[in-house]
Homo-oligomer: A and B are copies of this chain.
Amino acid sequence: MIPEEVLRQAQEEMLDWHGLGVSIMELGHRGPEFQAVIEQVEADLREVMGIPSNYHVLFVAGGASHQFSMVPLNLLSEHHKDADYIETGIWSHKAVVEAKRYGNINVAGQVIVENGIHRLPRQAELKLNPKAAYLHYTPNETVDGIEFHWVPKTGDVPLVADMTSCIMSQPINVNDYQMIYAGAQKNVGQAGITIVIIREDLVKEALAITPILYTYKAYVESKSCYNTPPTYAIYISGLVLNWIKKQGGVKAIGERNHRKAKKLYDCIDQHKGFYVNKIAPDCRALLNVVFSLAREELTDEFLNQATQLGLTNLRGHRSAGGIRASIYNAMPEAGVDCLVEFMREFAKKNG
């Protein structure tokens, strides 16, 4: 979902961006106009997320999956190939699989299942290697709807977070991380661009085999313009950042997201025998509320009736089944209210 205001502005500016009589799609990436756009998007990102000046902000074409390779290729070195990964779902698993091709990967923690309830490992349960080149984790796993609500402590080991599905969903302290990356399509715009926030000292020579456009150095040195960047995707991210600022910033958005999530989880918990959420309360995802129906055979009926009310995209990930309510930033609170009302009605009729 993209905020309607953002789409309206993109629509208005499609044929005539800022009175230039051309579309922003048609601007050369080295011209002063587009350079001003990319600089403003970076400045807005720094403001909205509170990114300190000793971090680079890079725009990398393509989705976050490229980072599954880029992180080990850039943060490992010939003499230091050990890295820690917390593996808590399909996204962090994919990151582990790719990293194993380049380094010695220690899985420092996984999801723990106790009495059918899934929870994340606690700090004391992490098997950390104090000499790891970095620790990689995925704060929010979208398929199962499980999220860290605390930041792992890693001592001197750089912490790398894949925030694709949780970036700008609530305030964070960027200083808690040495590197953050996020595909833009959940909360910062459209598919086709990934934002990389990396502390200056982590940018060094990549492994010798690294393709030039997989080295963070190339992006740092060229200000993300080594080659033509996805200019339109960067522009849309800029519009979304403006929208976030108008909403009151990440703080206000976070408060709204917590209200939205609470309404849904409360409804699930109030209908315990009917709706099932298997995630421990302190690990429940803010933006991906995943649940199933105790009577699984009602799932299709639930989805059909929801669709008729305009509540679409509720089918769970193909690997998980069940229901998943993705309530990203652009989903208005009223949409959640509508879903909760439908869920109550559906439970009453079929419970």
Contacts and interface: CB of A to CB of B under 8 A. Distances in A.
Nearest to A31: B313
Contacts of A193: 192, 230
Nearest 3 A-B pairs (CB), nearest first?
A192-B230, A69-B211, A61-B62
A333 interface: no
Contacts of A246: none
Interface in A243-265: none
B7 A226 contact: no
A179 to B, nearest CB: 17
A284 to B, nearest CB: 23
Contacts of A192: 61, 192-193, 229-233
Given A65-B226, A211-B73, A191 B7 contact: no
A214 interface: yes
B61 A63 contact: yes
A212 interface: yes
A223 to B, nearest CB: 15
B7 A190 contact: no
A26 B1 contact: yes
A103 to B, nearest CB: 12
Interface in A141-197: 183, 185, 190-193
A231 B62 CA distance: 11
Contact of A212 (B63, B69, B236): B69
Contacts of A18: none
A15 B25 contact: no
Interface string A196-217: 0000000000000101111000
Contact of A68 (B28, B212, B228): B212
A209 B73 CA distance: 10
A4 to B, nearest CB: 7
25 contacts: A1-B22, A1-B26, A2-B25, A7-B15, A7-B25, A8-B15, A10-B14, A25-B191, A28-B313, A30-B318, A62-B213, A63-B227, A64-B227, A69-B212, A69-B214, A98-B211, A101-B209, A183-B228, A190-B232, A192-B229, A192-B230, A192-B231, A192-B232, A209-B209, A232-B233
Nearest to A8: B15
**Most chain B CB atoms below 10 A, which of A30, A62, A191:** A191
A278 interface: no
A242 interface: no
A11 interface: yes
Contacts of A233: 192, 230, 232-233
A283 B73 CA distance: 41
